[in-house]
Homo-oligomer: A and B are copies of this chain.
Amino acid sequence: MTVTIYDVAREAKVSMATVSRVVNGNPNVKPATRDRVNEVIKRLNYRPNAVARGLASKKTTTVGVIIPDISNVYYSELARGLEDIATMYKYQTIISNSDNDAQKEQEIFNNLLSKQVDGIIFLGGTLSKETTNIIKTSSVPVVVSGTHDLDASLPAVNIDYVNASKEITEKFVQDGVKKFAFVGGGYSEKAQIDILEGMKSVLSANNIKLDDASIYIGQEQYLDGEKAYEAIKSQNPEVIMCISDEQAIGIVHAVQDDGKDIPNELQVISFNNTRLVKMVRPKLSSVMQPLYDIGAVGMRLLTKYMNDEQIEESKVTLPYSIVYRGTTK
Q: Do B62 and A71 touch (CB < 8 A)?
A: no
Q: Do B71 and A60 touch (CB < 8 A)?
A: no
Q: How far is the CA of A52 from the CA of B58 in the complex (A)?
A: 10
- Candidates B52, B54, B77, B92; contact of A111 at CB < 8 Å: B92
**A96: which B residues are within 8 A, CB to CB?**
83, 87, 92-93
Q: How far is the CA of A270 from the CA of B317 in the complex (A)?
A: 40
Q: How far is the CA of A52 from the CA of B97 in the complex (A)?
A: 25
Per-residue interface assignment for chain A, residues 62 to 73, with 1 indicating a CB less than 8 Å from any chain B CB and 0 otherwise: 100000011111
Per-residue interface assignment for chain A, residues 9 to 27, with 1 indicating a CB less than 8 Å from any chain B CB and 0 otherwise: 0000000000000000000
Q: Do A62 and B278 touch (CB < 8 A)?
A: no
Q: How far is the CA of A275 from the CA of B247 in the complex (A)?
A: 12
- Candidates B69, B80, B93, B279; contact of A80 at CB < 8 Å: B69
**A112: which B residues are within 8 A, CB to CB?**
92
State how many angstroms separate the Cβ of A246 from the closest Cβ of chain B: 7
Interface residues of A in 61-117 (CB under 8 A from B): 62, 69-73, 76-77, 79-80, 83-84, 87, 92-97, 110-116
Residue A311, interface by CB 8 Å? no
Per-residue interface assignment for chain A, residues 175 to 211, with 1 indicating a CB less than 8 Å from any chain B CB and 0 otherwise: 0000000000000000000000000000000000000
Residue A48, interface by CB 8 Å? yes
Residue A236, interface by CB 8 Å? no
A residues contacting the other copy or chain, number (CB 8 A): 49
Q: Do B114 and A47 touch (CB < 8 A)?
A: yes
Residue A321, interface by CB 8 Å? no
Q: Do A279 and B276 touch (CB < 8 A)?
A: yes
Q: Do B51 and A60 touch (CB < 8 A)?
A: yes
Residue A222, interface by CB 8 Å? yes
- Candidates B73, B87, B97; contact of A73 at CB < 8 Å: B73
Residue A148, interface by CB 8 Å? no
**A250: which B residues are within 8 A, CB to CB?**
279
Q: How far is the CA of A215 from the CA of B32 in the complex (A)?
A: 57
Q: Do B54 and A83 touch (CB < 8 A)?
A: no
Known: A50-B114, A80-B71, A83-B95. A253 touches B281 (CB 8 A): yes
- Candidates B49, B52, B222; contact of A278 at CB < 8 Å: B222
Residue A5, interface by CB 8 Å? no
**A60: which B residues are within 8 A, CB to CB?**
51
Residue A150, interface by CB 8 Å? no
Known: A70-B80, A280-B280. A62 touches B93 (CB 8 A): no
* Residue in chain B with minimal CB distance to A110: B47
* Residue in chain B with minimal CB distance to A292: B71
Q: How far is the CA of A167 from the CA of B250 in the complex (A)?
A: 31
Q: Do A51 and B47 touch (CB < 8 A)?
A: no
Q: Do B51 and A279 touch (CB < 8 A)?
A: no
Q: Do A83 and B70 touch (CB < 8 A)?
A: yes
Sample of 19 further A-B pairs with CB below 8 A, known A51-B54, A72-B76, A281-B281: A48-B114, A49-B114, A49-B116, A50-B114, A50-B116, A70-B76, A70-B80, A70-B83, A71-B76, A73-B76, A76-B76, A83-B97, A92-B115, A222-B275, A246-B275, A246-B279, A250-B279, A276-B276, A279-B279
